[in-house]
Amino acid sequence: MTIPGFILRNALRNKRRLGLTVLSVALSLFLFTTLQTALHELTQPPTSEDAALRIVVRNKVSLANVLPAKYRSRLERMPGVRHVMKLTWFGGIYKDKANFFPQFAVDSEQLFPVFSEAEIDAKQIQDFLKEKNACVVGNKTMERFGWKIGDRITLQGTLWPCDPELIIRGVYRKGIDMTNLFFHHEYFDELMGNKGLVGTYWIRAENADSVSDLIERIDRTFANSDAETKTETERAFQLGFVSMFGNIKVLLGSISTVIVFTMILVTASTMSMAIRERSREIAILKAVGFDGWQIFGLILAESFGLAVAGGVIGCGGAAFLYRNIDIYSLSHGVLLKLDVTPAILAAGMTVAAILGIVSCLMPAYTSIQTTVVAGLKELD
Amino acid sequence: MPEPIVQIRELTKFYRHGEIEVTALDCVSLDIHAGEFVALMGPSGSGKSTLLHIIAGLDQATTGDCIVRGVNVGNLSETELADWRNTHVGFVFQTFNLIPVLTAFENVELPLLLAKLSAGERREHVTAALELVGLGDRSKHLPRQMSGGQEQRVAIARALVTDPTLVVADEPTGNLDAHSAQEVLTLLQTLNRQDGKTIILVTHDPKAAAFAQRTIHLEKGQLLNGNGQSL
């Protein structure tokens, strides 16, 4: 027998309690991992080199306020600008409110130059450009509704008083959010009576070095106008967009804290019970020569092992599960994917390790403080 | 005559329960020589277990000295005491106190986990200790698979496995039937006579004390002489 073997025997002596405790830690860490992953997905959209070149220009007042169509030509003339695209959030309903997916009216010719990382067949781009009421859709939304190229769909306007009738002419994959639908801004303008309204302008800069300067110049150009602009990188814009849902970070962070705190209580309670019912054995261990620190080491190792086992099952289980299920369908399009990153796994395992240490401190301290004689008296 | 292995000098022990101070040992002086089998006898509350605990380094005296093989046990720190107990004292308790999830072999091996011995050396020591108590064939049995007498013999093997200076036994037959008690006491006597082990036995049973070479009587924390008077 070895000391680790002895610790293992002690841990396995009440298999049902051990199983339930590991399971409770595992479930809690599964939830923790899920929340952290969801938070990551919502607040840290995937970035690429192309995304770093994109700039979003919106009305300084709010996203709900529009910009004039005439800004486009002024933006195009600015040094450092390669492409300018109008992009207006349509936010319509497809058959039912539950069928939510993002829809945008865009400058069709600029769509794929601006979002150059999107993969789409060249022929489909041509078909999309040729037809006024054509649209391109991300493959996730195509799969979700079982659509195929050539299908006709009607979006019911909610923000805008029009109902575009669209024909699907292309499907894109990868690069950008694969749940989006893009249709011609010209068609949107026509339906709206050519009022020259634009939600946002999306700019692709010449190079990454010019981005910060360009942002500054754009806002300076439109300062003191009827529609002052707020220009920011795509990433900053997306984070700002997410924050419109409320302080998700604080909400999910609070839930995670409650989970961790509850876990500590559960594990500490289990360790206290396990140690209390072993108090006579701990006295014997001390009598045969184990000192306080060695006893503490035994208890710590058991508690740590228990928590880490729960962590491996919980965090590893979450990583495995989310890699193998279609979270997009299950979340009805709210989440594109749940990618448990190494950083999140490390955070989960760190929580498990801290849990293992913290939960045994009090029972271990009590057992160390108890003298051998006091422990032996409990035998009688 | 060789120097005593245990020298107790004017040992006192007070316990405080709130405002009340209880005297467990009152100026006890005592010598025990190597190879002796001593029985500490007395009624409940006489201080015999307290004296045993102090000799074994499980408790500290309030005043006085307890010197075992030249070491004043009262001067050792908690960590030093733990190490000292591992090397010099073997314990046998009334309730056996084997670890229920460990086999007889592993229970006996437990004190050796702290010694710097290889697995092979540990195996040799444990096997020898189990053979000594007549349980060589039960090494893989768990405590629940053994009788009370067998469990106590495993506890004796655990006490002997480090080859300690002292074996202390606190009411070792208190939980055993008459036959098993006889076996255990005979075993302790044999270990004393054949292997020269120094054994201190705490008991309130005169029949058990009869197995010892010398009986020391305590009452109200004081040693009594042969006439039942305080020394």
Give yes or no: residues A37 and A70 share one domain.
no
Where among A197, A226, A255 does a domain terminate? A226
Question: Measuring CA to CA, how many Å separate B11 from each of B47, B91, B219, B221?
Answer: 11, 22, 14, 10
- The structure tokens listed for A256 are 């995670």
Show residues of chain A in contact with B114, CB under 8 Å: 288-290, 294
Show residues of chain B in contact with A287, CB under 8 Å: 56, 58, 85, 91
Show residues of chain A in contact with B16, CB under 8 Å: none
Show residues of chain A in contact with B101, CB under 8 Å: 9-10, 12-13
Residue with tokens 């995937």: A46
Subunit contact A288:B102, Cβ cutoff 8 A: no
CB proximity A250 to B under 8 Å: no
CA of A336, closest CA in chain B: separation in Å?
50
Nearest to A288 among B59, B79, B91 (CB): B91
CB proximity B94 to A under 8 Å: yes
Where among A175, A194, A226 does a domain terminate? A226
pLDDT at A355: 87
CB proximity A10 to B under 8 Å: yes
Give yes or no: residues A217 and A294 share one domain.
no
Q: How far is the C-alpha of B29 from the C-alpha of B64, rounded, in Å?
A: 9
- The structure tokens listed for A272 are 């206290």
B3: amino acid identity, one letter: E
Whole-number CA gyration radius for chain A: 29
Give yes or no: residues A326 and A210 share one domain.
no
Give yes or no: residues A71 and A40 share one domain.
no
Chain A interface disruption, residue of B52, B78, B107, most A CBs within 10 A: B78
- The structure tokens listed for B2 are 């060789």
Show residues of chain B in contact with A9, CB under 8 Å: 101-102, 106
Would A156 be classed as within a structural domain?
A: yes
Of B211, B200, B203, B133, the C-alpha closest to B166 is B200
Subunit contact B114:A293, Cβ cutoff 8 A: no
Give yes or no: residues A41 and A70 share one domain.
no
CB B96 within 8 A of CB B104: no
CB proximity A249 to B under 8 Å: no
Nearest to B58 among A13, A287, A293 (CB): A287
Give yes or no: residues A209 and A288 share one domain.
no
Of A359, A356, A81, the C-alpha closest to A207 is A81
CB proximity A296 to B under 8 Å: no
Show residues of chain A in contact with B97, CB under 8 Å: 280-281, 284, 379
Q: How far is the C-alpha of A231 from the C-alpha of A211, rounded, in Å?
A: 10
Would A239 be classed as within a structural domain?
A: no
Nearest to A286 among B53, B82, B102 (CB): B82
Nearest to B82 among A3, A12, A291 (CB): A291
DSSP per position, A110-179: HHHHHTTT-B--HHHHHHHHH-TTEEEEEHHHHHHHT--TT-EEEPBPSSSS---EEEEEEEEBSSS-TT
pLDDT at A379: 46
Which chain B residues in 30-59 lie under 8 Å from chain A, judged by CB atoms?
Answer: 53, 56, 58-59
List per-block mean pLDDT (blocks of 10 residues) for chain A, which spans 380 residues: 87 87 90 87 67 89 89 92 94 89 93 90 93 93 92 93 94 85 95 90 90 92 92 81 69 83 81 80 89 89 91 94 80 71 92 89 84 69
DSSP per position, A25-76: HHHHHHHHHHHHHHHHHHHS----HHHHTEEEEEESS-TTS-EETTHHHHHH
Give yes or no: residues A285 and A139 share one domain.
no
Give yes or no: residues A70 and A24 share one domain.
no
Instruction: Classify the phi-psi angles of A339: left when phi > 0, otherwise alpha if psi is within -120 to 50, otherwise beta.
Output: beta
Number of domains in chain A: 2
Subunit contact A289:B111, Cβ cutoff 8 A: yes
Give yes or no: residues A290 and A151 share one domain.
no
φ, ψ for residue A282 (rounded to 5)? -65, -40
Give yes or no: residues A196 and A86 share one domain.
yes
Show residues of chain B in contact with A296, CB under 8 Å: none
Subunit contact A291:B83, Cβ cutoff 8 A: yes
pLDDT at A172: 94
Beta-carbon contacts below 8 Å between A and B: 75
Give yes or no: residues A261 and A172 share one domain.
no
Would A232 be classed as within a structural domain?
A: no
Subunit contact A373:B53, Cβ cutoff 8 A: yes
Chain B residue with minimal CA distance to A369? B78
Residues of chain B scoring pLDDT < 50:
none
Q: Is the pTM of this model over 0.80?
A: no
A311: amino acid identity, one letter: G
CA of A365, closest CA in chain B: separation in Å?
15
Give yes or no: residues A279 and A202 share one domain.
no
pLDDT at A242: 66
- The structure tokens listed for B120 are 């092979």
Show residues of chain B in contact with A280, CB under 8 Å: 95, 97
- The structure tokens listed for B111 are 């004190």
Q: How far is the C-alpha of B88 from the C-alpha of B168, rounded, in Å?
A: 10
Of A137, A151, A148, the C-alpha closest to A180 is A137
Nearest to B106 among A1, A13, A379 (CB): A1
Of B138, B168, B164, B135, the C-alpha closest to B59 is B168
pLDDT at A339: 84
> Which contiguous run of DSSP H or E holds residue A6?
helix A3-11
Nearest to A280 among B53, B97, B158 (CB): B97
Subunit contact B59:A372, Cβ cutoff 8 A: yes
CB proximity A281 to B under 8 Å: yes
Domain boundaries, position A137:
66-226
Show residues of chain A in contact with B111, CB under 8 Å: 288-289
Subunit contact A289:B83, Cβ cutoff 8 A: yes
Would A109 be classed as within a structural domain?
A: yes
CB proximity B163 to A under 8 Å: no
Residue A93 CB: number of other CB atoms within 10 A? Answer: 16
CB A204 within 8 A of CB A114: yes
CA of A320, closest CA in chain B: separation in Å?
35
Chain A residue with minimal CA distance to B118? A2
Q: B36-71 b/e with 16+ CB inside 10 Å = b?
A: bbbbbbbeeebbbbbbbbbbbbbbbbbebebbbbee
Q: What share of chain A is helix, strand, coil (3-state, %, to 5)?
A: 55, 15, 30
DSSP per position, chain B: -PPPSEEEEEEEEEEEETTEEEEEEEEEEEEE-TT-EEEEE--TTSSHHHHHHHHTTSS--SEEEEEETTEEGGGS-HHHHHHHHHHHEEEE-TT----TTS-HHHHHHGGGGGSS--HHHHHHHHHHHHHHTT-GGGTT--GGGS-HHHHHHHHHHHHHTT--SEEEEESTTTTS-HHHHHHHHHHHHHHHHHH--EEEEEES-HHHHTTSSEEEEEETTEEE-TTS-B-
Q: How far is the C-alpha of A85 from the C-alpha of A71, rounded, in Å?
A: 11
Quote the strand ranges of A188-268, DSSP E: 197-198, 200-205, 229-233
Give B119's contacts (C-beta < 8 A, 6+ positions apart): none
What is the tens place of the pLDDT at every residue in B49-103? 899 999 999 888 999 999 998 899 989 988 899 999 999 999 998 888 899 889 9
Kindly give the pairing relationship between strand B198-203 and strand B37-41.
parallel
Would A71 be classed as within a structural domain?
A: yes
CB proximity A374 to B under 8 Å: no
CB proximity A293 to B under 8 Å: yes
ipTM for this model = 0.87
Show residues of chain B in contact with A292, CB under 8 Å: 78-79, 82
Show residues of chain A in contact with B105, CB under 8 Å: 1
